[in-house]
Amino acid sequence: MITIPAGNAATRATTVALPTRLSLAAAAIRDVCLVAQQAQDACPAGSQVGTVTAQTPLLPVPLSGPVYVAERPGELLPGLRLALGGPVQLRLDGRLGFAKTGLVSTFEGIPDVPLSRLELTFAGGGPLQVKGDPCTGGLMRATGSLTGHNGVDATAPARVKVRSCPLLGRARVSRAGALRLDLRKGRDTRALNRVRVTLPRGATRVRATADGRRLARRRVRVTGRTVTLRLAGAKAVTLRAHVPRGAAHTLRVRATRNNGRTATVRLRAARLR
């Protein structure tokens, strides 16, 4: 996402160095929007790699639309096509190239229209692919180089956020029956508002912490085998309990994020020696 402060010149050209883990799959050579399809605004679904949203102070609502991998006449590599729609239609076509850091996307000849915000969202799969699991490992970063219609250059580094990362959970139980569950919200996802855990039968001495602070009793509700934790936007939760010998060590966890979405995970507690 690129945000341009009010009063700055409109952008004439931009070059974005994409994260090193983002690559162009071999299938992209055939899964592209052909020139004839671009002229008719009929790009196939297989060529879409994401969406774009742009805000301008000239319009009351933002422009939005799909992002396609598109054919470029006379060039070996395809480019990106931004098909913005709304009160007005705007099509932006850019090149894709390679640098030492990876893929580079370049857009030139952008109309002299002030944009206060531009957000690109890339979907998983398709012609543009992420190497490895984007929810783990190092953070992905991109760098945008902007040139205004006044000729001034500016650089805008940004961290690439990953949507829909799963809950991260780990459970362990000692030989003495001490059970510990560690749960994290997942990279770039909303904080946790409530967590419900189904414990093994006979679990006792339940206590919990959220982001390193112990939860008050009124926020920990135990009903039979079910423990409900009422949180206030926690990133990490730790639940401790004591389980009897011979009890099954499978935990069912259901978490509700601050945006109302839920996630469920089933964990098998590892035995500590």
Does 28 have pLDDT greater than 70? no
The rounded percent of the chain whose pLDDT value lies above 90 is: 38
pLDDT for residue 96: 84
Q: Cβ distance 171 to 268 under 8 Å? A: yes
pLDDT for residue 37: 94
Q: Which residues contact 33 (CB under 8 A, 6 or more apart)?
A: 43, 44, 47, 68, 69, 70, 71, 81
pLDDT for residue 29: 55
pLDDT for residue 4: 64
| Model confidence pLDDT, tens digit, residues 248-260 | 778 999 999 998 9
Pick the more confident residue, 238 or 95. Answer: 238
Q: Where are the alpha helices (DSSP H) in 143-230?
A: none
Average pLDDT over residues 12-16: 84
* Distance set, CA 128 to CA 27, 28, 96, 213, 261 (Å): 9, 8, 11, 41, 27
Average pLDDT over residues 22-33: 69
| Model confidence pLDDT, tens digit, residues 105-163 | 888 888 887 777 778 887 765 667 777 888 887 778 888 788 888 888 888 787 888 87
Q: Is 168-271 a CATH 3.90.1150.10 domain? A: no
Distance of CA 11 to the CA centre of its chain: 26
* Distance set, CA 76 to CA 39, 95, 182, 206 (Å): 20, 11, 49, 62
Q: Cβ distance 64 to 21 under 8 Å? A: no
Report DSSP state, residue 40. T
- Give the domain ranges of the chain: 6-160, 168-271
| Model confidence pLDDT, tens digit, residues 198-225 | 998 889 999 999 999 999 989 999 999 9
pLDDT for residue 17: 85
Amino acid at 187: R
* β-bridge pairing 22-24 and 128-130: antiparallel
Does 1 have pLDDT greater than 70? no
| Model confidence pLDDT, tens digit, residues 61-117 | 989 999 998 999 888 888 889 999 988 888 999 888 887 777 888 888 888 877 777
| Model confidence pLDDT, tens digit, residues 180-205 | 999 999 988 999 999 999 998 889 99
* Distance set, CA 69 to CA 23, 213, 243 (Å): 12, 48, 55
What is the pTM for the complete model shown? Answer: 0.70
The H-or-E segment that residue 24 falls in is: strand 22-24
